[in-house]
Structure formats: C-alpha cells, structure tokens
Amino acid sequence: MTRRHFLTTTAAAVAAPAIHVSAQKRRPPNVLFIVSDDLSPTALGCYGHKLVQSPNVDRLARQGTRFDRAYCQYALCAPSRASFLTGLRPDTNRVLSNGPDFRDFIPDTVTLPQLFKNNGYTAIREGKMYHMGVPGTVGTNRWQDPKSWSHDGSPQGKEQNSKGEGKNLTPHIGQGVAMHYVSTPDPSEQADFDAANRAIAHLEKHRDDPFFLGLGFVRPHVPFVAPSRFFDLYPLSKIQPFVNPPDDLNDIPALVLKTLVNNVNNMRMNEDQVREALRGYFAAISFMDDQLGRVLQALDRLGLRENTIVTFQSDHGWHLGEHTFWQKRSLMEQSAKVPLIISAPGKKRGQTTRSLTELVDLYPTLAELAGVPLAHSVHGKSLVPLLNNAKAAHKTEAHTQLNAGPTLGRAVRTDRYRFIQWKSNGETFEELYDHAKDPQEFTNLAAKPEAKAELERHRALLPKG
C-alpha cells in the first residue's frame, strides 16, 4: 500500500463512520451479560494458567478490565445468581440453597434484566441465568423468572448422554456432582453450542434496538462434555495435579470436612483419575470459550461492539484439588473467588484491578453505565470508578456465605486476610489465613495467640455481610 493510498483509506475510514458513531452515541448502550457455570479464575489463561487455552476470554480481558479479586456472595449456584441478579445479599433475598425461588420471598423485586426491560430494552435470556440443575433441568425454563425477560430461551443438550467416549470417575456419586466426562464428535448436541447460535441470531435481529442479552453457558459444570478436539489440547502427560502439604487438613475444622463429605479427599479419585478430571474440566472450559468467541465475533461483525457493554463472569469459584477439595461449597479462596471481566464503551482497556469487589456490585454498575435509574436500593457498589481507574478506591472487604443443614458459614476477605466462621448446634469454629504469607491458605492462624487482634477485627466485620 502506498502512503497516499494509506492516507486516503484512513481518511475515508475516519470520515465514513462519523454519522454512524454519532447515531450510536444517541442510542442507549446494549448489554451482553455472560455467565459461565462453575468456572475457576485459576483455570484461565488471562488469570495465569499456563496450560488452559481460553483465547476468547483472554482477548476480552485485553479489551476491558480484569478483576483479580472478585468474590461471589454464596458459594453455590442458585443463591449466588439470585444475589447478583437482584443486587441483594442472600440473607435478604433468602435464597440459601438450590431449591427456592427468590420470588417466593421478595415477589416485587426488580431484577437486573427486568430493570433494563422496564426501561425500553429487549431483555433476552439464552441458557442458564438463574438456577438450572445441570444436567437434570438443562433445556427447561424452571427457575428462570419469566418477569425478567422479553424472550426466555432454554437451549437443550444431551449432557452425559451425548455420543462419544466417556467415563464417570466417581460412580459412587450421582450426576450433577459426579466427575463424569464425555469426549464427543458432535458439538451440535450441546446446550452451549445452541446457546451461542441463538445469541448470534438475537444480535442480528436486535442490532437496531437496545438489548440486554443474558447468555448463560453451562460449561464447565459437570458433566464435562466437549468435542474431542478440545480434549486433544490436554495430553494427560502434561497435566499436573495440585500438590498439598501432607498435614494440610489437620488445622481445618472437622466440621468443614463433614460438610464437604463428597468433595474432599479428591472425591476418592486416584492420581490418574485426577488427571482425567482436570483434562475434562480444561476441555469444557476451552469448548465454552469457543462458543464465547463465536458470539463476540458476531458482535464485531454486526458493528455492535462499540456500543455494547460486555461482562463475563462465573457464579462462584471451583476447587481443583486444593486441600484435596473439588468443586464449590467451601468458603476458602478457590471457591469464593470468581473471574470477572467488564468491557464497556469509553472505558479503559487492558487494565487489571486488585481492588476487592463482589458480584453484587454488578447490578449498580450496569445501571450506571447505561444511565438506567435503580428501581430499589441494592447492596452493591458501582464498579464504574474502577473501569476508569483500576487503582481507584472501592471496598475494604468482600463477603461470602454458605449453609449446609444446621451449619452456617460466613467468610470475609480483606486486603490481607481471609476469615471464616462456622456455627453449628451452638458451637463456633474459625479459620484465619494470611494471604501475604500463605496465599494457598495452608495454615489456619485462628488458634495462634499472635493472631488474636486480627481475629477480633475480622469477627467484627462479619455482620456487615
């Protein structure tokens, strides 16, 4: 290309879209709200994993702000989702397990998508947004709250019944928790593939209308079902299981191990099976990432990216063998911390923040970005200042909770410490971890005399959550 041709082409490129950009600015920004299920931030390339291939999540992180210390408010699917979609903490919306519907307790609450729907947006759901039993209720609209949506879609998938080579590594545990994988030749049988197709169709249909598109991927939730080419990315010889100190469980309250009975001791998997489980989890992540990439490509192709707020997150974290724990339902760092990325028009790109943040912050953030007035008070705090400046002040603590029968657990994460308190049948058990010295939470300081002051300080913070 000659210099004259380059200058002419560049001038035309700058001049031609001027009216289009102006028109876009007059329109409210769209929202593409993406939730992945059971995704650990430690298993993504942009968060530092050396083996997992997640190019589309990584690219989105380069186009927005990556939150390195974002936390869910409940370490289980339904309560976490009810919290960030209502903007209310679990004790207020009263969803404390995977069964209830928040409308049973707070029937008139305006949810996040409903807020946009009430303000002239087309609110679209495809896939798991509120709770959905995986694999049991994939493809149904149970729990998906029709009041929230203009369009309410539940892509179907064959889950563990997909054709291909599969294995249940934990046959003593039922589906939905069992470490079951299927390497399949056909992606079209999967709910996430269908969800991406549907999302692309909605983008094409509503390209001229303001939309709030809630796109919920069920992967990498068990069963780990993905096309064979994604399993091929992860030879077993390259997968290294997490190594814990031999005495790691000794200072964790016995109550915790009883609460997590199906999820400790590597779920009775041997080392070879652990490698297979990790391969299944990684393959499911790469498959989900591929569907994300198809949707983001369509957003670019349709010229919507510059006027669309894109968020990507999980509902909670996921253990991958740390402390011999697997899956969620603990109050330790790996279960409470989530991936969170926000890319918004006019905001900084490629920045990372270590400010403590909570998923409950998403509701006021998206409302502020879109200029939509809140319908009720919420418990979160807008993240917009962090989108402008990753070093801006935000919160000094993040709260997570968990119930298990008569056991009530609460955790608070401060800049340096994680404090966990369990109450059961009149007894109290505590954990305190110093992340400056012990980022993997191997040493519980709760019984150490030198930790007394920090213990008391963190006890006083729990009621704020």
Cα 199 to Cα 148: distance, rounded to the nearest angstrom: 17
- Hey, which residues are catalytic here? 77, 131
Q: What token pair was written down for 110?
A: 């305006």
Q: Which of 149, 144, 97 is nearest to 122 (CA)?
A: 149
With beta carbons less than 8 A apart as the criterion, state whether 41 and 35 touch. no
Report CA torsion sign: 229, 233, 238, 242: negative
How buried is 434 (Cβ within 10 angstroms: 0-12 exposed, 13-18 middle, 19+ buried)? middle
Q: What are the backbone dihedrals phi and psi of residue 253, each rounded to the nearest 5 degrees, phi first?
A: -50, 135
Cα 371 to Cα 378: distance, rounded to the nearest angstrom: 16
Cα 102 to Cα 93: distance, rounded to the nearest angstrom: 6
Place of tokens 């992180």: 61
Cβ neighbors of 436 (< 8 A, separation 6 or more) are 416
Size (the chain), residues: 465
DSSP characters over 157-210: --GGGSSSEEEES-TTS-TTTS-EEEEES-GGGSHHHHHHHHHHHHHHHTTTS-
Q: Which of 188, 211, 244 is nearest to 119 (CA)?
A: 211
Q: What token pair was written down for 52?
A: 């997992």
With beta carbons less than 8 A apart as the criterion, state whether 326 and 177 touch. no
Cβ neighbors of 289 (< 8 A, separation 6 or more) are 53, 54, 55, 56, 57
